[in-house]
Amino acid sequence: MNKDVNINILRNYKNTKVLVTGGAGFVGSNVVRLLLEVGAHVTVLDDLFTGSPDNLKGVQGYSFIKGDVRDDKLIKDIAGQFDYIFHLAARNIIISTKNPEEDFSVNIGGTLKLLLALKKSKKLKKFIYTSSVSIYGNPHYLPINEDDRINVLTPYSVSKLGGENYAKVFYEGYDLPTVIVRYSNVYGDQQSPSNPYCGVIGKFIEKISKGKAPLIHGDGQQTRDFTYVRDAVEATLLAGISEKSTGDIFNIGTGIEVSINTLAEVLMSIYKKDMELEYIDKRDIDNIRRRVLNIEKIRQKLKWVPQFTLKRGLEKTVDWYEKHKK
């Protein structure tokens, strides 16, 4: 399905009331932008722990609530007002590894509080839970299918799977319309390298733009499925608006396996730099050797395919960074 067809379908969000938890974060702020673009009435809920108002700078037409998904009273007061809820609020993998208790409290506890508040909602059309391909761990086979073996290796993957399971239970047990999407290494606009929790692409861009070689943990032969944020967001919104998605789970990626060495080389070519890569010890969280997703299910069921190649997505990301780095 091409981009224009996607946008026409997404215009079904026009005049609907939508809550985006974690909407001041990297992916969340991009979700907010696209929802506003297609005419939705958007409310952002964010505690600004890792999110930032800067991610929504210049964006108009949304409401903002500074609050925590663990706040019982707040969640009970607002949850029933919305047609769609995109739940992106979470502690990320680095914070989760440092503080598993906080990870459990936010990623599992916050999700459960939202679902409990929605259990009797007559207004809700879809609860969209954003999960992570980290739940697959080191796969036995590639590419990874949605029904492949789960192998959690970090506190973050434990908690994201816990949220998935609650979303599934509330669909099966309480008829709450839910859908789960699993993101794979999303990158792009609003992912500021100044944020200490940004991904590898943000860190590489910051180094290369200054004429410094990117630092690679391990040997650089580890692979990932890098997904440009606009593609990830369009797929997420399609999953939310489609009746065919209810109760289901979808991988969101590109189906293309890319090594960290290749990633660095493409970025250096965009900057027209030629530097020797620098290798350092791998981190505790670097426990996945290879990853690439099978996206055939979302292609067949929701007619979605990614529009951005790695190079094109990286070019747009670099362009955004160069315009906003000051």
pLDDT tens, position by position, 123-136: 999 999 999 999 99
Strand 258-259 and strand 223-224: pairing?
Answer: antiparallel
146-153: long-range contacts (C-beta < 8 A, 24 or more apart)? Answer: 146/182, 146/249, 146/250, 146/251, 146/294, 146/297, 153/287, 153/288
Catalytic residues: 156
pLDDT value of position 2: 57
Kindly list the domain boundaries of the chain, sorted by start residue: 3-184+229-253+293-307
Per-residue pLDDT tens over the stretch 77-112? 999 999 999 999 999 988 898 999 999 999 999 999
Examine the pLDDT at 1 and tell me if it is beyond 60.
Answer: no
**Is 184 within 8 Å of 255 (Cβ atoms)?**
no
pLDDT on residue 31: 98
Q: Average of pLDDT values for 272-289?
A: 86
| DSSP 8-state secondary structure symbol assigned to residue 88 | -
Residue range 9-33: mean pLDDT, rounded:
97
pLDDT over 90 (residue 62): yes
* Burial class of 6 by CB neighbour count within 10 A (0 to 12, 13 to 18, 19+): buried
Is residue 37 within 8 A of residue 62, CB to CB? The reply is no
The pLDDT score that the predictor gives to residue 212 is 94
Query: 3-184+229-253+293-307 has which CATH code?
Result: 3.40.50.720
List beta partners, residue 249. 180
How many percent of the chain have pLDDT more than 90?
A: 89
Give the pLDDT score at 160.
98
User: How far, in Å, CA of 142 to CA of 3, rounded?
Assistant: 28
pLDDT of residue 5: 58
Q: In Å, how far are 33, 54, 195, 298 from 58, measured between CA atoms? A: 10, 9, 19, 33
Q: How far is CA 176 from the centre of its chain?
A: 22
Per DSSP, 150 falls in state: P
| Distance from the first to the final alpha carbon of the chain | 37
Say whether pLDDT at 319 is over 90.
yes
Q: What does the alpha-carbon distance between residue 250 and residue 239 come to, in Å, rounded to a whole number?
A: 8
Q: Note the pLDDT of residue 282.
A: 79
C-alpha closest to that of 164 among 183, 180, 146: 180
pLDDT digit string (tens) for 155-209? 999 999 999 999 999 999 999 999 999 999 999 999 887 776 678 999 999 999 9
- pTM: predicted TM-score of the whole model, two decimal places: 0.95
